[in-house]
């Protein structure tokens, strides 16, 4: 069972005025639920765990765009630092895939994969590492894992920064988890609402007014 830091359903979070929030988002957020510094500390620990488990094996680090790009970059930075300063090291190459499964604040019933035709390059790799920002229903990652399975990698491990507690979950759990979070719509640290809020450093809860304001 993957270990993780649990954010409780009744977590009060932090007032926005305690943090540096871009002016253009000040009226769109309820609270900061995971400050940037805590994200970075947890990400560093995930990097240590991955090095401990995977040290010596070649990993293809597969980033799930767009929401995973910030977590992907920061996690790989920590892995690279550990490669230079510890007894174990992990040879790394990187690849990218884009998926889309949201319209406004609702997860759709379909998962659109963009760039899946390039996954054949991953055939037979020893360790394949999917990096995702958030697992909610689990359908996106299950679809991606099915595609990856067609390429016959030797092993697949998945790391997700967030896993949402929701009755809509299929029960899927990644191998590595940063935080388990309440069933709220979260933005920031590259998590978006219709492409907004990716430039927010902290993970925050979006308020209802913003859902209407940025609706498409």
- What is the per-residue pLDDT for 129? 81
Per-residue pLDDT reduced to its tens digit, 37-80: 999 999 999 999 999 888 778 888 988 888 889 999 999 999 99
User: Which stretches does DSSP call E strand in 5-66?
Assistant: 5-6, 29-34, 59-65
Q: Give the integer Cα–Cα distance in Å for 65 and 133.
A: 9
- What is the per-residue pLDDT for 196? 96
| Residue 39: burial class (beta carbons within 10 Å; 0-12, 13-18, 19+) | buried
- What is the per-residue pLDDT for 30? 96
At 59, is the secondary structure helix, strand, or coil?
strand
Q: Give the integer Cα–Cα distance in Å for 196 and 177.
A: 25
- What is the per-residue pLDDT for 7? 96
- What is the per-residue pLDDT for 26? 92
Share of the chain above pLDDT 70, in %: 89
Q: Of 143, 138, 182, whose CA–CA distance to 160 is shortest?
A: 138
- Higher pLDDT pick, 182 / 89: 182
Confidence of residue 152 (pLDDT cuts 50, 70, 90): confident
Tokens representing 141 are: 């990652």
Pairing mode, if any, of strands 186-187 and 5-6?
Answer: unpaired
Per-residue pLDDT reduced to its tens digit, 106-132: 555 556 676 655 667 777 777 778 788
The CATH number, out of the four listed (3.40.50.2020, 3.60.70.12, 1.10.10.60, 1.10.357.10), of the domain defined by the range 36-184: 3.40.50.2020
pTM equals 0.89
Average pLDDT, the chain: 88
């Amino acid at each position: 069972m993957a270990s993780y830091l649990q954010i409780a359903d009744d977590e009060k979070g932090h007032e926005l005025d305690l943090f540096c929030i871009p002016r253009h988002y000040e009226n769109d957020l309820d609270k900061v639920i995971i400050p940037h510094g805590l994200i970075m500390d947890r990400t560093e620990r995930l990097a240590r765990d991955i090095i401990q488990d995977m040290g010596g094996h070649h990993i293809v680090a597969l980033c799930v765009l767009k929401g995973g790009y910030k977590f992907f970059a920061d996690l790989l930075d920590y892995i690279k630092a550990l490669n230079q300063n510890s007894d174990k090291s992990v040879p790394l190459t990187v690849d990218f895939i884009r998926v889309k499964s949201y319209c406004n604040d609702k997860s759709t019933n379909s998962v659109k994969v963009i760039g899946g035709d390039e996954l054949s390059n991953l055939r037979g790799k020893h360790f394949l590492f999917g990096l995702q920002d958030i697992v909610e229903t689990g359908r996106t990652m299950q679809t991606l894992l099915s595609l990856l399975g067609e390429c016959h990698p030797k092993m697949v491990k998945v790391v997700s920064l967030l896993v949402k507690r929701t009755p809509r979950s299929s029960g899927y759990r990644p191998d590595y988890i940063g935080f388990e979070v309440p069933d709220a719509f979260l933005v920031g640290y590259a998590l978006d609402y219709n492409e907004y809020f990716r430039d927010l450093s902290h993970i925050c809860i979006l308020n209802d007014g913003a859902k209407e304001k940025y609706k498409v």
